[in-house]
């Protein structure tokens, strides 16, 4: 699979890791093995901790880029990720083991989980639909991890009100043990976050709920919408809503997800699952399942999930796509695409225009292509990224 196997379900002792492609170097008590990936804010390394008697343990080490390491805003976001992640204790969440300092900078120590991200699995599938039972198994694990985050409490038993806000194929890991895990709480919000900036519009627009695209107040159902969008793509091989621009995608969201036209007869399980996912993809958040646990129950009723050992065998047997080999070393604990902030100004204008188009009976006419004047130059004119240089 391209990874050095370091742990198993039977908890065998870790094997000796060999540095690949980089000269051995250290950050404090961590020896760097190889770079797993670099995103807009941070780099993630496969590293080992060294202890007495030859003890070593593999970890994923997340380190802010030097240009952000001294910026109080980004440091606060980094600390938020550590604080929120450390409060979520669940088998379906990539755990944060520690946060340490080295020469004045913070390092986030996370569990290293051999496996592949859903983004990599989609690449390997090359647009083909995945087995419904496997999709439901991934879905149930994903939603269990999200529910744990949504229900997490502090040491003082106070609700943390965590919302992930970036559920996407890159941030769902399917381990070689057959379990799926949520990772990367880098732009999550919570009741005790340190950074006070508005990160609600950050993330990956293709998987955002309409209220997130519009910059409205968010609740936990925004994560359910994003999870449903990921699962829809796994089940059908296509995104639920077409559109290269956010305003175009919003118009399609109001009409509901478009079902594939080339479904084969007899796929009752897939059709039942699409019904459940369509409810979670509702434009009106009140029409979605109220919790991740309720969403998972509906999916289980539509189709029985595959067992972890079945998922593991499926994962090992999945033929890698053209870019799977390098991308397997990309993952594991960091947002590896640049974070983006989408200005809601043109989308709010679009929302107003669409609301005015409703007739007296409350029915919404078929969406038409927004005029350039309504979008004030198009939403991507207002996009700015955190990537520099």
**Confidence at residue 251, expressed as pLDDT on a 0 to 100 scale:** 93
Q: How confident is the model at residue 330 (pLDDT cuts 50, 70, 90)?
A: very low
DSSP character at residue 111: E
Based on the residue annotation, tell me whether 166 is a catalytic residue of this protein.
yes
Could you tell me if 167 and 75 lie in one domain? no
Lowest mean pLDDT among 11-15, 102-106, 233-237: 11-15
Q: Does one domain contain both 153 and 243?
A: yes
Band (pLDDT 50/70/90 cuts) for residue 355 is: low
Can you give the pLDDT at residue 2?
A: 39
Are residues 199 and 276 located together in one domain of the fold?
yes
d(CA 345, CA 138): 36
Annotate 221-239 with b (16+ C-beta within 10 A) or e (fewer): bbbbbbbbbbbbbbbbbeb
Residue 338 token pair:
């640049």
On whether both 290 and 370 belong to a single domain, the answer is no
Q: Report the alpha-carbon distance of residue 221 to residue 280 in Å, rounded.
A: 8
Give a yes or no: residue 387 inside a domain: no
Distance from C-alpha of 131 to C-alpha of 300, rounded to nearest angstrom: 14
Q: Are residues 137 and 200 part of one domain?
A: yes
Label residue 67 by pLDDT band (50, 70, 90).
Answer: confident
Token digits for 169? Answer: 């194929």
Q: 174 and 195 share a domain?
A: yes
Q: Which range (32-36, 97-101, 192-196, 268-272) has the least confidence?
A: 192-196
**What does the pLDDT average to over 202-215?**
87
Instruction: Name all contacts of 254-260 with Cβ < 8 Å and 24+ positions apart.
Output: 254/283, 254/354, 254/364, 254/367, 255/366, 255/367, 256/281, 256/282, 256/283, 257/232, 257/281, 260/236
Residue 302 has pLDDT above 90, yes or no: yes
Based on the domain organization, do 166 and 187 belong to the same domain? yes
Mean pLDDT computed over every residue of the chain: 76
- Is residue 7 situated within a structural domain? no
Spell out the residues 6+ positions from residue 326 whose beta carbon is closer than 8 angstroms to its own: none
Judged against a pLDDT cut of 60, whether residue 312 lies above it is answered with yes
Q: How many domains does the chain have?
A: 3
270: in domain? yes
- The average pLDDT across 306-320 equals 87
Same domain, 294 and 366: no
Query: Can you give the pLDDT at residue 264?
Result: 52
Q: Residue 245 is part of a domain; what is its CATH number?
A: 1.10.510.10
**Cα–Cα distance between 122 and 120 in angstroms, integer?**
5
* Mean local confidence (pLDDT), 254-278: 81
Q: How confident is the model at residue 103 (pLDDT cuts 50, 70, 90)?
A: confident
The confidence score (pLDDT) of residue 191 equals 55
| Residue 300 shares a structural domain with residue 358 | no
Q: Which residues pair with 182 in a beta bridge?
A: 93, 172
Q: What is the mean pLDDT of residues 106-125?
A: 90
Question: How many whole angstroms from its chain centre is CA 91?
Answer: 16
12, part of any domain = no
pLDDT score for 83:
81
Domain closes at, from 95, 111, 127: 111
DSSP string, 283-337: SSGGGS-SSHHHHHHHHHHHSPPPPHHHHHHHHHHSPP-TTHHHHTTS-SSS--S
Interval 6-35 mean pLDDT: 57
Same domain? For 200 and 165 the reply is yes
Could you say which DSSP state residue 202 is in?
A: B
Q: Write down the pLDDT at residue 262.
A: 62
User: Looking at the domain assignment, is residue 61 inside a domain?
Assistant: yes
Which DSSP category does 205 fall into? G
Q: What is the pLDDT of residue 388?
A: 37
And the tokens for 313?
């065998």
pLDDT at 358 over 80: no
| Residues 292, 143 contacting (CB under 8 angstroms) | yes
Q: What is the mean pLDDT of residues 275-300?
A: 97
41-59 confidence digits (pLDDT tens): 788 889 998 777 778 889 9
Domain of residue 42: give its range.
25-111
d(CA 166, CA 172): 10
pLDDT the model gives residue 371 = 45
* pLDDT score for 375: 40
180 with 247, same domain: the answer is: yes
Question: Of 61, 77, 111, at which residue does a domain stop?
Answer: 111
What is the mean pLDDT of the segment spanning 21-33? 73
Query: What is the percentage of the chain residues whose pLDDT exceeds 90?
Result: 37
Lowest mean pLDDT among 157-161, 289-293, 300-304: 157-161
pLDDT at position 26 is 82
Residue 131 shares a structural domain with residue 107: no
Q: Which pLDDT does position 340 carry in this prediction?
A: 38
Of the residues 81, 111, 141, the one at which a domain ends: 111
Closest C-alpha among 107, 182, 106, 108 to residue 143? 182
* Neighbour count for residue 310 (Cβ, 10 Å): 15
Q: Give me the catalytic one of 123, 166, 223, 339.
A: 166
Most confident segment among 2-16, 175-189, 195-209: 175-189
* Lowest pLDDT segment from 153-162, 180-189, 198-207: 198-207
The answer to whether residue 13 is domain-embedded is no
Residue 240 included in any domain: yes
Predicted confidence band of residue 317 (pLDDT cuts 50, 70, 90): confident
């Amino acid at each position: 699979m391209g990874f050095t196997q370091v742990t198993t379900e039977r908890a065998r002792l870790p094997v000796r890791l060999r540095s690949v492609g980089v000269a051995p170097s250290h950050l404090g008590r961590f020896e760097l093995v190889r770079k797993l990936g670099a995103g807009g804010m941070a780099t993630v390394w496969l590293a080992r901790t060294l202890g007495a008697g030859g003890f070593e343990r593999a970890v994923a080490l997340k380190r802010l880029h030097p240009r952000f390491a001294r910026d109080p805003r980004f440091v606060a976001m980094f600390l938020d990720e550590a604080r929120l992640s450390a409060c979520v204790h669940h088998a379906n969440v990539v755990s944060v083991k520690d946060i340490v300092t080295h020469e004045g900078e913070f390092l986030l120590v996370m569990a290293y989980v051999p496996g592949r991200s859903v983004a990599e699995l989609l690449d390997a599938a090359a647009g083909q639909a995945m087995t419904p039972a496997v999709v439901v198994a991934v879905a149930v694990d994903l939603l269990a991890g999200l529910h744990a985050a949504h229900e997490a409490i502090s040491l003082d038993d106070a609700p943390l009100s965590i919302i992930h806000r970036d559920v996407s194929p890159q941030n769902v890991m399917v381990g070689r043990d057959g379990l799926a895990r949520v990772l990367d709480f880098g732009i999550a919000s919570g009741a005790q976050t340190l950074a006070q900036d508005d990160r609600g519009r950050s993330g990956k627009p293709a998987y955002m709920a309409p209220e997130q695209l519009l910059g409205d107040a968010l609740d936990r159902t925004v994560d359910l919408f994003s999870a449903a969008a990921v699962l829809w793509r796994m089940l059908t091989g296509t995104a639920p809503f077409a559109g290269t621009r956010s305003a175009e995608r919003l118009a399609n969201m109001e009409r509901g997800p478009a079902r594939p036209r080339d479904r084969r007869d007899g796929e009752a399980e897939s059709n039942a699952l699409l019904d459940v996912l369509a409810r979670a993809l509702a434009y009106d958040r009140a029409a979605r399942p109220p919790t991740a646990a309720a969403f998972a129950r509906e999916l289980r009723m539509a189709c029985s999930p595959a067992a972890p050992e079945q998922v593991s065998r499926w994962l090992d047997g999945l033929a890698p796509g053209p870019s799977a080999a390098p991308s397997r070393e990309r993952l594991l604990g960091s947002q590896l695409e640049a974070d983006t902030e989408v200005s809601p100004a043109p989308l709010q204008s679009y929302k107003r225009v669409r609301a005015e188009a409703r007739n007296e009976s409350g029915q919404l006419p078929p969406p038409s292509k927004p005029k350039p004047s309504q979008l004030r130059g198009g939403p991507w004119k207002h996009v700015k990224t955190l990537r520099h240089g």
